[in-house]
Structure 1
């Protein structure tokens, strides 16, 4: 085993030992949401609207101990972003703010009013997720069929 592999194995063993120590329980949290394009700009999701792949979202959380953690996520082909973390129970998320950063879709990249950010407390037990309402972008000009 080379030195790098040896250090990696020792680090993994240390992490496992910490989570198995008495009084230290592991906690896993997850935040999910979607980003969509409101094609007609009518503030309702309809058949003409579509999800935005590659949209950037930031999630800022404060842990029970007061530490601030910042995450960056991008939407997948279904317009869904996910942020997940495993940490000691004593360090779990307490409150979070999710906000859209940008849409790289050239025809739908104007943030919709009211899509500035969403604050929420994170009360979910380990292994469960919090679903954030969709962030919405609009095109510069709506199509004529709207």
Structure 2
């Protein structure tokens, strides 16, 4: 019986040490998000005829404070929004990132608009915050006649 109590105490002590170790490790969480739209009239002005692009591909490359390069791939949802999020040790958090559109899978809107080649930015938000990237714009190959 005495040996069983000692084993339980050792197990309890190990669990306590693991919990303390986990609390001591500082985790950091970051998020990057943006939108992709189709500028139907190609007039560089978002209007009622324009719409979001679901399924558009965006690449996000980030360099961490420790010098590691991380490459993310994201696709837009039904609202045209893509999101990249990561939880990592504070010492490895993002330092600088580049977001750039890769492709639109909509046959009618596949040409990148001016100024949509990519966006470089420093990421110096505390844990739990996000960075909004400006909207990436695609234009149609053939502008509709009603424009």
For the criterion TM > 0.5, the same-fold answer is yes
What is the aligned partner in structure 1 of residue 80 from structure 2? 79
The 1:115/1:17 distance shift into structure 2, 3 A limit, reads farther
Unaligned runs of 5+ in 2: 1-17
What is the aligned partner in structure 2 of residue 133 from structure 1? 134
CA contact (8 A) 1:19 1:26 kept: no
What is the aligned partner in structure 1 of residue 22 from structure 2? 20
CA contact (8 A) 1:19 1:25 kept: no
What is the aligned partner in structure 2 of residue 68 from structure 1? 69
- Quote the offset at 1:123 in angstroms: 1.1
List structure 1 runs of 4+ shifted beyond 3 angstroms.
16-19
CA contact (8 A) 1:37 1:50 kept: yes
1:51, 1:144 → 2: CA distance?
20
- Quote the offset at 1:18 in angstroms: 10
What is the aligned partner in structure 1 of residue 14 from structure 2? none
What is the aligned partner in structure 1 of residue 108 from structure 2? 107
What is the aligned partner in structure 2 of residue 56 from structure 1? 57
- Quote the offset at 1:32 in angstroms: 0.3
The normalised TM-score by structure 2 is: 0.85
Name the SS for the 2:74 alignment partner.
Answer: strand
Unaligned runs of 5+ in 1: 1-15
2:82, 2:51 → 1: CA distance?
15
Deviations 1:94-115 (A, max 9, x none): 0000000000001001111210
The normalised TM-score by structure 1 is: 0.85
1:35, 1:130 → 2: CA distance?
15
What is the aligned partner in structure 1 of residue 11 from structure 2? none
Name the SS for the 1:53 alignment partner.
Answer: coil
- Quote the offset at 1:78 in angstroms: 0.3
The 1:141/1:71 distance shift into structure 2, 3 A limit, reads same
1:60, 1:70 → 2: CA distance?
5
Name the SS for the 1:120 alignment partner.
Answer: strand
Aligned residues: 131
